[in-house]
Structure 1
Amino acid sequence: MGLTTQPDSPNLQRSKRFASIALIIAIIAWLILIVSAKFFPQDTQLIHILMLGAEAGVVGGLADWYAITVLFRNPFGQLPIPRFLRDHTEIIPRNKARIAESMGRFVQENFLSPNVVQKTLAQTDLSMSLGKWLASPQNSQQVTLLMQQSLPKVFDFVGQEQIARFIQTNSVQWVRNTQINGLASEMLHAILDNDFHQDLLQHGLDMAHEWVIAHPEQMRDMTEKVFKELGVGKLAKGFHWIGIDIQQRSIDSLLIKVEAMLADPEHPWRQHIENYAHGLMHALADANSNASIRLNATKNALLESPQMLNFMSGAVVILCQAIKQDLEKTNSGIALNLRAAIELLGDNLIQNNDVRQLLNQRLSSAAIGFSDQYSNKVIRFISERIHEWDSTEMIAKIENEVGGDLHMIRVNGVVVGACIGLILGLIRAGLELWL
């Protein structure tokens, strides 16, 4: 695998041209001064001072040209030169393997070592930055738009039936291998500890009370069906003939009970429901209890039911189709809710310091673990890619990137050399006059 060969960049071409012009000017000046010394003998001392400056400029320019050239190539070509000179040309191509290893070690020691990662992350509040990014309407819109465009394509590419089979297979396997009694016990524990069951019960009683009052005919029909199932339908009709409406009295009695439970948080039926829920929670925590055995048996029976499996597959297909159709709409409700959820998540991260600290700890631990486990592989990958590069193309790439500055050193060599030569010439002239 090689690098793509590129022509010299404008900056590199300009630097090479400028350096060559500076060297040529120094050479021409040196030659002119040599000739001038023959025609103007009365100014020999001044000409020698200027000549020394020109010579030093030529030497400086040529020396820097040589130093820069041997980094990349051999300037002697096929000339028979001493080996100690030839061995110190083409420095970068000759040392490509060592450069690859050095670059790998540099990246590992300065960027990917666990200590560096830990120190860097300790100085950075990643969760705060993430929260600010997510809370930005522009960013949340970009994320939502990306998902809105990608998910329908994923559904089309994978196939909704395949997604359904994948979810069914993995979910069924997970549920089959899971003792669901423990999960149910933990869910009950969370509900009871947060008094969520009281809010749920209150809301359910409110809804039941309002429905019974708003739908008297449907309630009478339901009561009639219950009486028939219990085998007391004819008895209720008999009482109705003598002026006693058993159905209405039952409905009224139910309403009285519901209203009493709504009005009294300490109602015995409420206490009974709560006691039953606590008892069920403790029973489900024991895998050998009758409640746990019955629950797991019911779970296994459902998993063995073809009707249940077909229902799951059909439900997943319908759900995927509904999600796909909604996301393809311009005013997608899922996209709108997703965007709001992303912004809400960002706001919560910004406001909740405890959550940020926990998230930073988890991210830091994950990054340190990744660095410790994969840094050597990353460095080996970098080194192997550099080893595979063609030397000629690699040199062209490096010279194209930094050669502009390197060739400007040649200009500096001419200018600095000329200045040093002038200074030395003035010193020599001064010493000759003084002595």
Structure 2
Amino acid sequence: MSSNPSSGLQKSRFFANVALIMAALTWVFLLVMAKVFPEQSWWIHILVLSAEAGMVGGLADWYAVTVLFRNPFGHIPIPKFLKDHTEIIPRNKARIAESMGRFVQENFLSPQIVEKSLASTDLSMALGKWLTNPKNNTQITEMVQQILPKVFEFVGQQQIANFIQNNSVQWLRHTQINQLSSQMLRAVLENDFHQDVLQRGLDVLHQWIVQHPEKAQQLTRKLLKELGVWKFAKGMSWFGIDVQQRTVDSFLEKVESMLADPEHLYRQQIEEFAQQLMLQLADSNSAASIQLNQTKNALLDSDAVLNFIRGAIVIICDVIKADLQKPDSGIAENLRAAIQQIGENLVENQAVRDLLNLRMTGLAIQMSDQYSEKVILFISERIHEWDSTEMINKIENEVGGDLHMIRVNGVVVGAFIGLSLGIIRALFDWFI
């Protein structure tokens, strides 16, 4: 905090001192004039009274302003009741600190105030509009491009890999993933995501078979060999029956029929299998759940799997770092587009905004209830730690200009009051 008085404070203090000195000089001058011109003393005394009142008003306001910050008597012995009411701000620093803390709590941080303030504010709409602004989402992306590579350099990809691996492995070890798998499968089935995936998979498979007939036949030949019927298939070719091609054609026909018919028997069987698997995984004692958890534990106990995870994370970190350092980073552009899309979705989707506003309001109310006392304590402690001299200078720089202008007003108003009283007194003497 600065200890030098501001130019505004210096100017106001100068005007106040000049006004007080002018009132005192005028008072002395008028007293002299009354002695020099006794025949004119009746109207000069009116002006003397005005100057006296102005001087008294200026001195009284000077005293009132000064005792706020310091003791105007210095080391002069004065009665205790006077001394106890000097240096008002330094003496009451603790009470001011507590009062400021309570003021912040009652007017800004109380759960009722937070709830009332947020009830009339669509935070998610404001957030959505902010995110859709190209300047803002580009700024976020650029910040990520600058910070994330430096994080990789400072921490090291190997340390990041070890951290992620250790924490993810520990989480997986203590998690019965059958319940998680069941919930994920339920979400997929209830939203028909599996139908979209199946449709897309069948379409890709159909295109691949049509566009790569030779590779399809090679795979069929390998399958027939694995099944031990390749010699039989080869022998049937002597009778003009191409078992290999018929197998490919039959498979292609079934794929096409599944693509064309959403209610195909195979589709229904896949649906039934997924439903049964979801129910089995929901039961931790089912064979499917036990097998899944055992497989999970076996994989986590495998050094090869752990080394693979660690190596994959290092490779991913290297790829991310290298890409983010490019001027035309694909990751950065995708991130910017994702932020833009999130903002647009927030602006367009009222239901999502309502839910997000509800969650943010609840979180803000909970945090204000839990941490408002800590904020108050922090404010109070900071004020207690302020040096009294610096605090006085800071407050005086902020409001001292207006306080010293009150001194000027005291001189002027006092002079007018004294003049008015002098005129009334002269009129009283004149008529009585």
Q: 2:295 aligns with which of 279, 295, 298?
A: 298
Q: Which residue of 2 aligns with 1:342?
A: 339
> What letter matches 1:335 in structure 2?
A
Give me the whole-angstrom Cα distance separating, in 1, the residues matched to 2:330 and 2:40. Answer: 93
> What letter matches 1:66 in structure 2?
Y
**Residue 397 (str. 1) matches residue 394 (str. 2):** yes
What is the CA-CA distance between 1:233 and the residue it aligns to?
Answer: 2.5
Give me the whole-angstrom Cα distance separating, in 2, the residues matched to 1:330 and 1:415. Answer: 69
User: SS of the counterpart of 1:279?
Assistant: helix
Q: 1:71 aligns with which of 68, 71, 77?
A: 68
What is the CA-CA distance between 1:232 and the residue it aligns to?
Answer: 2.3
Q: Which residue of 2 aligns with 1:411?
A: 408
TM-score, normalising length: structure 2: 0.97
5 Å-filtered alignment, 1:154-193, equals 154-193=151-190
Q: 2:199 aligns with which of 194, 199, 202?
A: 202
User: SS of the counterpart of 1:79?
Assistant: coil
What is the CA-CA distance between 1:146 and the residue it aligns to?
Answer: 1.2
What is the CA-CA distance between 1:243 and the residue it aligns to?
Answer: 3.6
Q: Which residue of 1 aligns with 2:100?
A: 103
Q: Which moved more, 1:12-21 or 1:227-236?
A: 227-236
What is the CA-CA distance between 1:235 and the residue it aligns to?
Answer: 2.8
Give me the whole-angstrom Cα distance separating, in 2, the residues matched to 1:289 and 1:32. Answer: 110
5 Å-filtered alignment, 1:105-120, equals 105-120=102-117
What is the CA-CA distance between 1:241 and the residue it aligns to?
Answer: 4.6
What is the CA-CA distance between 1:242 and the residue it aligns to?
Answer: 4.7
CA deviation map 1:131-165 (0-9, x unaligned): 22112111111111111111111111111111111
Give me the whole-angstrom Cα distance separating, in 2, the residues matched to 1:263 and 1:377. Answer: 65
What is the CA-CA distance between 1:5 and the residue it aligns to?
Answer: 4.3
> What letter matches 1:182 in structure 2?
Q
Q: Which residue of 2 aligns with 1:237?
A: 234
Q: 2:29 aligns with which of 27, 32, 44?
A: 32
CA deviation map 1:87-111 (0-9, x unaligned): 1111111111111111122112222
What is the CA-CA distance between 1:409 and the residue it aligns to?
Answer: 0.8
5 Å-filtered alignment, 1:273-352, equals 273-352=270-349
Q: 1:131 aligns with which of 124, 128, 133?
A: 128
Q: Which moved more, 1:354-363 or 1:297-306?
A: 354-363
Give me the whole-angstrom Cα distance separating, in 2, the residues matched to 1:366 and 1:313. Answer: 36
Give me the whole-angstrom Cα distance separating, in 2, the residues matched to 1:76 and 1:265. Answer: 97
CA deviation map 1:98-131 (0-9, x unaligned): 1111112211222212222222222222222212
What is the CA-CA distance between 1:42 and the residue it aligns to?
Answer: 3.4
User: SS of the counterpart of 1:88?
Assistant: coil
* Uncovered stretches (5+) of structure 1, i.e. residues with no partner: none
> What letter matches 1:143 in structure 2?
I
> What letter matches 1:218 in structure 2?
K
Q: 1:226 aligns with which of 208, 214, 223?
A: 223
CA deviation map 1:408-435 (0-9, x unaligned): 1111111111111111111111222221
Give me the whole-angstrom Cα distance separating, in 1, the residues matched to 2:179 and 2:249. Answer: 40
> What letter matches 1:87 in structure 2?
D
Give me the whole-angstrom Cα distance separating, in 1, the residues matched to 2:282 and 2:380. Answer: 55
Give me the whole-angstrom Cα distance separating, in 1, the residues matched to 2:104 and 2:258. Answer: 69
**Residue 140 (str. 1) matches residue 137 (str. 2):** yes
RMSD between superposed Cα atoms in Å: 1.4
> What letter matches 1:355 in structure 2?
V
Give me the whole-angstrom Cα distance separating, in 1, the residues matched to 2:218 and 2:90. Answer: 93
TM-score, normalising length: structure 1: 0.96
> What letter matches 2:132 in structure 1?
A
CA deviation map 1:243-289 (0-9, x unaligned): 43221111111111111111222211111111111111111111111
The structure 1 segments of at least 4 consecutive aligned residues displaced by more than 6 Å after TM superposition are none
> What letter matches 1:417 in structure 2?
G
Give me the whole-angstrom Cα distance separating, in 2, the residues matched to 1:363 and 1:46. Answer: 74
Give me the whole-angstrom Cα distance separating, in 2, the residues matched to 1:344 and 1:60. Answer: 67
> What letter matches 1:89 in structure 2?
T
**Aligned residues, how many?**
432
> What letter matches 1:404 in structure 2?
G
Q: 1:355 aligns with which of 339, 352, 360?
A: 352
What is the CA-CA distance between 1:382 and the residue it aligns to?
Answer: 1.4
CA deviation map 1:280-329 (0-9, x unaligned): 11111111111111111111111111111111111111111111111111
User: SS of the counterpart of 2:128?
Assistant: helix
Give me the whole-angstrom Cα distance separating, in 2, the residues matched to 1:105 and 1:368. Answer: 17
Q: Which residue of 2 aligns with 1:421?
A: 418
> What letter matches 1:366 in structure 2?
L
